[in-house]
Amino acid sequence: MAWQLLVVNSRYGGNWTALFCTGSQFQVPPALAAESVYVFPNSTGYDGQMYHYVAHDPLARTDIGRYMDNSRARYRRILLPATAYLLAFGRQASVDSAYIAANLLFLFLGAWWLSRYLDSSGPEPRLAVLFVLAPAALISLDRLTVDLTFTSLCIGFALYVRLKQDANAWAVLALACLGRDTGFVLAAAACLALAVERRFAKAAAIATAVIPAAAWYGYVNLRTPDYSNEAFRGLIPFKGILETLLDPITYQLSGTVNAALRWLDRLELLGFVLAVLLGAWLVRRNGFGPMEAAIVLWSVTGLCLPRGFWEECDAGARVFTPLLIYVMLLSAPTARWKAVAPLLMVLPRVALQVLSPLAAAFGLLGRQ
């Protein structure tokens, strides 16, 4: 919260709506005109602006969806916006501050669940304070996306599976499915791991955790138009990753800075690749438990994603933070540095992206 306060006051003149990263290429809904939303010129903005709109109308009862890039996909990830709306008791004037508070609440929950997991497995539980440096945490604190919420729930699920608290694991899994689409992958992994052990009754019970999200998806489908994304059709495994590694995005900066950023982009992508390889090693070493199965399914998903996903430095880092954390938790303490290597490879590019607005505010970087 102190970090956000520093950024907002030093860079954006005290306007907290700047954290939603609203771009000028999307019109701000007239219903939010009184908020004086901070708009970034000549920009498409970022995902947080869309979830901001969802939080003001979580049941899609107004025309606010017309001002989103893909209202159906945004409304499906309802957990964080709905939590903000509930914390604000539906008062429109309080939704924005409640959204920021809800995001911080999930940061606390993630660190708390992580400390309990570490306490149960041997490592020092106080290391859980470092959860704030996880890519999904940094990016969500900077841009108010839903990825911190989802990552925290993934940690909670891992903890309750480890403690064999099935009811808690079911509840957290149900919330994860409402938090992000990749929650369904986590549910599929849990069911697959149980099916491999021939525990079909328990697998069927765990599968019911997707029912609330499935019901919500049905409601959203009735209230929002269908959007098709051609970029995610005809996916070819490894194609997007290889194209990005061989030719990362070019930045409109000086030659040295551009080259450095391109190599950091490559390092970040190689961190994901290393996590995939470590995941395969973990499955071979540990067997096919729920966390190992989630690593495999998330890895397969990531390896098939197109170039357009991977060339954006924040996308892969925030979406696949649960994969990086699961690899780290399952590899430690025996693997030591091997366990944290993927995360350390991803972090520099993310940290640079998050730090750059503040550095610009203090004159350490150019304003553009």
Cα 329 from Cα 321, distance rounded (Å)? 12
pLDDT at residue 366, as a whole number: 43
316 touches 353 (CB < 8 A)? no
List, for residues 237-290, the tens digit of each pLDDT value.
Answer: 899 999 999 999 998 888 888 899 999 999 999 999 999 999 999 999 999 999
Cα 120 from Cα 22, distance rounded (Å)? 42
Alpha helix segments (H runs only) across 183-248: 183-196, 200-207, 211-223, 239-246
pLDDT at residue 123, as a whole number: 75
The answer to pTM > 0.85 is yes
**Residue 110: alpha-carbon gap to chain centroid:** 13
Residue 7, CA atoms < 13 Å, CB-side half-sphere: 20
pLDDT at residue 368, as a whole number: 35
Cα-flanking dihedrals φ and ψ of residue 23, to 5°?
-100, 155
Under-70 pLDDT residues of the chain: 229-234, 358-368
pLDDT at residue 164, as a whole number: 95
Side chain identity, residue 64: I
List, for residues 117-168, the tens digit of each pLDDT value.
Answer: 999 887 788 999 999 999 999 999 999 999 999 999 999 999 999 999 999 9
